[in-house]
């Protein structure tokens, strides 16, 4: 019946939905009505053995909440980026501002003291916390003093943690040993409080060397590029990347890490939690300017948090908010990158793509 009405195909894939908000509401009501206690809840993504191209635009229409004047600040998402150091201030900004441009209400950045003034200068929209420390700033400290600094850093983040719907860990983080140790404890705290997190950039360097930080945590998303993925495969599967069997290898990797969701970035983005494998190939751009991965990580955080809200309904048919978040963010970034490229061609920059996020989402999910 669901397949007949255009919701779930015979293989469990999401099929096209009307962009009309009123029609969509009726369709969603039908899904809820048909998914009562005596009917098995359909999986939005395919069965365990499936691998398929996801209908990213339909996922975007379902996951993106309507704009409701009755909602208050924060209900559309509170995102925090953990990253930003002396060398790297652009990446955390890109991730945090992208979350706002997509539709999150509040976006925080937890960075080092040196990075904070720079990131603050990029935009007054971001809430910037200069709380992280690097080794050079405490090089003269005793071990006991360093321990107290670490406790202070964790305490500053802990004060905010329960307010956040999702974290983005890694953009502009760098590889300072003391900083990475602090961030590893922040990840442990997030897991304890069941806060979802997206790991990108140098966060993946940390995770690759400490797999237990994410192992078996279903609310963790890893977003490796080609080199980061290669290191993960070598570390976890003890082999080289197999492009001939890319989907099977990705499924094995995610399964070996305990069912975390992995979004392998590439010409086609591949997404797996160890059970399903979905690809997103729509749109895209030949321009490969740095920073697009930061847009993606901020987008995954927003869409994951929105999908998590949908899943909180006891009658919801949505099975895995992390996978939905990845599909939606991948589809939107690809559309925005395509639109930016039509306007700017070879000179397209990450900032140009960010400016196209709102227009691209509006084209798929009209606000009115």
Burial code (b: 16+ CB inside 10 Å, e: under 16) for 290-305 equals: ebbbbbbbbbbbbbbb
Does 90 belong to an annotated binding site? no
Annotated binding residue 117? no
86 is in an annotated binding site: no
Q: Tell me: is residue 285 an annotated ligand-binding position.
A: yes
84 known ligand binder? no
Collapse the DSSP code of 79 into the 3-class scheme (helix H, G, I; strand E, B; otherwise coil) and give the result. Answer: strand
Is 240 annotated as belonging to a binding site?
no
Q: Is 21 annotated as a binding residue?
A: no
Count of helices and strands (H, E) across the chain: 13, 10
Q: Is 290 one of the annotated binding-site residues?
A: yes
The two three-digit tokens of residue 232, written as one number:
């993960």
292 is in an annotated binding site: yes
CB-based contacts of 29: which residues, under 8 Å, 6+ apart?
none
Q: Is 25 annotated as a binding residue?
A: no
Q: Is 134 annotated as a binding residue?
A: no
Q: Is 287 annotated as a binding residue?
A: yes
Task: Find out whether 291 is annotated in a ligand binding site.
Answer: yes
DSSP state of 167: E
Surface-to-core class of residue 66, CB atoms within 10 Å of its CB (0-12 exposed, 13-18 middle, 19+ buried): exposed
Joined together, the tokens standing for residue 106 give 């509040």
The answer on whether 158 is annotated among ligand-binding residues is no
Q: How far apart are the first and last CA of the chain?
A: 29
Of 349, 283, 299, 348, the residue nearest 107 (C-alpha): 299
| 265 annotated as a binding-site residue | yes
**114 labeled part of a ligand binding site:** no
Determine whether the annotation assigns residue 228 to a binding site: yes
Q: Is 49 one of the annotated binding-site residues?
A: no
35 carries a ligand binding annotation: no
> Strands of 166-169's sheet, edge to edge?
51-53, 277-280, 269-272, 261-264, 220-222, 197-199, 166-169, 78-82, 106-112, 127-132
- Encoded tokens for 170: 């890694």
Spell out the residues 6+ positions from residue 180 whose beta carbon is closer than 8 angstroms to its own: 173, 202, 205, 206
Known binder of ligand: residue 155?
A: no
Q: Is 267 annotated as a binding residue?
A: yes
Q: What CA–CA distances, in Å, run from 151 to 51, 169, 188, 194?
A: 44, 19, 13, 21
Q: Is residue 63 part of an annotated ligand binding site?
A: no
182 annotated to a ligand binding site: no
Count how many Cα atoms sit within 13 Å of the Cα of residue 292 in the half-sphere of its side chain: 26
248 marked as part of a ligand binding site: no
Residues 6 or more apart whose CB falls under 8 angstroms from that of 116 comprise 84, 128, 129, 130
Tell me the binding residues for ATP. 265-269, 284-293
Tell me the binding residues for (6S)-NADPHX. 172, 225-231, 294
Tell me the binding residues. 172, 225-231, 265-269, 284-294
């Amino acid at each position: 019946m669901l397949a007949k009405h255009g919701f779930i195909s015979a293989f469990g894939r999401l099929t096209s939905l009307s962009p009309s908000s009123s029609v969509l509401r009726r369709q969603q009501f039908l899904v809820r009505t048909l998914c009562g206690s005596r009917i098995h809840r359909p999986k939005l993504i395919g069965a365990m053995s499936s691998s398929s191209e996801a209908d990213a635009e339909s996922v975007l229409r379902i996951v993106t909440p309507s704009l409701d004047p009755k909602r208050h600040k924060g209900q559309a998402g509170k995102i925090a980026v953990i990253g930003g150091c002396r060398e790297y201030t652009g990446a955390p900004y890109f991730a945090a501002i992208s979350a706002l441009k997509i539709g999150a209400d509040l976006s925080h950045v937890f960075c080092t003291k040196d990075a904070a003034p720079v990131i603050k200068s990029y935009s007054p929209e971001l809430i910037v916390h200069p709380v992280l420390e690097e080794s050079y700033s405490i090089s003269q400290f005793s071990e006991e003093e360093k321990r107290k600094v670490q406790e202070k850093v964790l305490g500053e983040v802990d004060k905010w943690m329960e307010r956040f719907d999702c974290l983005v860990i890694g953009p502009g983080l760098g590889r300072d040993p003391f900083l990475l140790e602090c961030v590893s404890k922040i990840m442990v705290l997030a897991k304890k409080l069941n806060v979802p997190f997206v790991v990108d950039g140098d966060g993946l360097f940390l995770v690759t060397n400490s797999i237990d930080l994410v192992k078996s945590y279903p609310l963790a998303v890893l977003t490796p590029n080609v080199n980061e993925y290669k290191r993960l495969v070598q570390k976890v599967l003890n082999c080289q990347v197999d492009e001939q069997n890319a989907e099977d290898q990705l499924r094995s990797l995610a399964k070996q890490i305990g069912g975390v969701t992995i979004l392998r970035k590439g010409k086609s983005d591949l997404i797996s939690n160890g059970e399903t494998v979905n690809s997103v190939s729509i749109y895209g751009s030949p321009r490969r300017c740095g920073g697009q991965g930061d847009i993606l990580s901020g987008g995954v955080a927003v869409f994951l948090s929105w999908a998590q809200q949908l899943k909180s309904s006891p009658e919801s048919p949505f099975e895995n908010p992390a996978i939905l978040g990845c599909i939606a963010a991948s589809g939107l970034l690809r559309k925005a990158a395509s639109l930016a490229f039509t306007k700017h061609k070879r000179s397209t920059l990450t900032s140009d793509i960010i400016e196209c996020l709102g227009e691209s989402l509006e084209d798929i999910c009209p606000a009115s």
